[in-house]
């Protein structure tokens, strides 16, 4: 009898989850802006994966005799100061920007979730110590702090990932802490404690799965911020280093040719803008889909 009741309860839970997922997908499908953002993200991902097959030229080879050529049928986006095809470099730079953005957010999200969950669940001195450290990091502008870390760590794509990850950890820690505080006194958490579940099991099996919506939304929006900071570091010459075709470094190397060859900075700037806009549109739509009250 008990087994039948448990089986019916499991089936009921699965049906509820399926209905919620279906509702979320329907809400996303009805949001045109979110769909546009998702389509652009999918296209950028395909470009990053298939870039070497669709690039018209080698992005790292050029002819000085063809430098600063305006957009034409041979070079749709023109050429840079070294005669390299700008379209090929933008395509190659897509995988770099997405890699840094996604990887840095994944690291910051993982670390921030752990610290935030511990602070919110245990409270007291542990909460105070963790959150004061996070407040200290948040007291500095994120880009300025990332520049400081890059100065200490050195230049390069891996260093940029680490620097951007560190400066964004507090954002996720604060969100997770607030979510944990709001649910840790709920009945299902108390029931898990009563049947002998340990703290780690309660946090990661019972609490976090029920508070993932705002975390997922923030991570989606955080990718756009990470891409912007990557471009800013590259523009300042501290992030991804030449000859890698990173959009920010392309802007930095081409800013001296703004008046006589504006296409050098126009197309990389447009790539950054389009990518950031896509993640912001999709993140906003995802937020509305996961929170129907706010959508109404």
What is the model's pLDDT at position 115? Answer: 93
Residue 193 CB neighbours (<10 A): 14
pLDDT at 15 over 80: no
What is the model's pLDDT at position 292? Answer: 53
Percent of the chain with pLDDT over 90: 30
Average pLDDT on 263-270 reads 91
Q: What tens digit of pLDDT does each residue of 276-285 get? A: 999 999 888 8
pLDDT at 289 over 70: yes
Q: How far apart are CA 267 and CA 80, in angstroms?
A: 11
- How confident is residue 5, by pLDDT bands cut at 50, 70 and 90? very low
For residue 218 the two structure tokens come to 């923030």
pLDDT at 9 over 70: no
Q: What tens digit of pLDDT does each residue of 188-204 get? A: 777 777 777 777 888 88
Q: How far apart are CA 227 and CA 218, in angstroms?
A: 14
Could you identify the residue written with the tokens 């739509």? 285
Could you identify the residue written with the tokens 């392309």? 250
Decide which of 9 and 104 is more confident.
104
Q: How far apart are CA 269 and CA 72, in angstroms?
A: 19
String of b and e for 221-233 (b: at least 16 CB within 10 Å)? Answer: bbbbbbbbbbbbb
What is the model's pLDDT at position 165? Answer: 92
**Three-class SS string for the chain?**
CHHHHHHHHHHHHHHHHHHHHHHHHHHHHCCHHHHHHHHHHHHHHHHHHHHHHHCCCCCCCCCHHHCCCCCCCCCCCCECCCCCEHHHHHHHHHHHHHHHHHHHHHHHHHHHHHHHHHHHHHCHHHHHHHHHHHHHHHCCCHHHHHHHHHHHHCCCHHHHHHHHHHHHHHHHHHHHHHHHHHHCCCHHHHHHHHCCCCHHHHHHHHHHHHCHHHHHHHHHHHHHHHHHHHHHHHHCCCCCCCCCCCHHHHHHHHHHHCCCCCHHHHHHHHHHHHHHHHHHHHHHHHHHHHCHHHHC
What is the model's pLDDT at position 207? Answer: 83
CATH T-level fold of 47-295: MetI-like fold (1.10.3720)
- How confident is residue 241, by pLDDT bands cut at 50, 70 and 90? confident
Q: What tens digit of pLDDT does each residue of 145-164 get? A: 888 888 888 888 888 889 99
Among residues 101, 105, 142, 145, which one has the least CA distance to residue 240?
101
Average pLDDT on 101-105 reads 92
Average pLDDT on 232-240 reads 83
What is the model's pLDDT at position 278? Answer: 93
Q: Supply the angle between the helices 157-183 and 142-153 in degrees, to the nearest 10.
A: 130
Asked if 231 and 272 touch (Cβ cutoff 8 Å), the reply is: yes
Average pLDDT, the chain: 84
What is the model's pLDDT at position 40? Answer: 93
What is the model's pLDDT at position 132? Answer: 93
Q: What tens digit of pLDDT does each residue of 34-48 get? A: 899 999 999 999 999
> Domain ranges in the chain?
47-295
Asked if 294 and 43 touch (Cβ cutoff 8 Å), the reply is: no
Average pLDDT on 238-256 reads 84
Name residue 79's beta-bridge partners.
85
For residue 130 the two structure tokens come to 């963790």
Instruction: Answer whether the bond into residue 243 is a cis peptide, omega within 30°.
Output: yes
Decide which of 173 and 51 is more confident.
173
């Amino acid at each position: 009898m008990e087994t039948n009741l448990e089986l019916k309860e499991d089936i009921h839970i699965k049906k509820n989850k399926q209905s919620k997922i279906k509702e979320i997908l329907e809400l996303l499908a009805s949001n045109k802006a979110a769909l546009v953002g998702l389509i652009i993200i999918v296209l950028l991902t395909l470009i990053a994966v298939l870039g070497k097959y669709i690039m018209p030229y080698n992005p790292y080879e050029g002819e000085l005799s063809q430098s600063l050529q305006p957009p034409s049928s041979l070079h749709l986006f023109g050429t840079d100061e070294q005669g390299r095809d700008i379209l090929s470099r933008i395509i190659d730079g897509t995988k770099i920007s997405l890699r840094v953005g996604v990887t840095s957010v994944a690291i910051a999200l993982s670390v921030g979730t752990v610290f935030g969950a511990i602070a919110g669940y245990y409270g007291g001195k542990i909460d105070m110590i963790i959150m004061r450290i996070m407040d200290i990091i948040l007291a500095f502008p994120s880009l300025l702090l990332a520049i400081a870390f890059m100065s200490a760590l050195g230049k390069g794509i891996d260093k940029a990932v680490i620097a951007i990850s560190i400066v964004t950890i507090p954002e996720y820690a604060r969100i997770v802490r607030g979510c944990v505080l709001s649910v840790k006194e709920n009945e299902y958490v108390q029931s898990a404690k009563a049947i002998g579940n340990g703290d780690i099991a309660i946090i990661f099996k019972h609490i976090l799965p029920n508070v993932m919506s705002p975390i997922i939304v923030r991570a989606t929006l955080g990718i756009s911020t990470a891409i912007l900071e990557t471009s800013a570091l590259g523009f300042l010459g501290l992030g991804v280093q030449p000859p890698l075709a990173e959009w920010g470094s392309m802007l930095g190397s081409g800013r001296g040719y703004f008046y006589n060859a504006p296409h050098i900075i126009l197309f990389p700037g447009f790539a950054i803008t389009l990518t950031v806009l896509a993640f912001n549109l999709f993140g906003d739509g995802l937020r509305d889909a996961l929170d129907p009250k706010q959508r109404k």
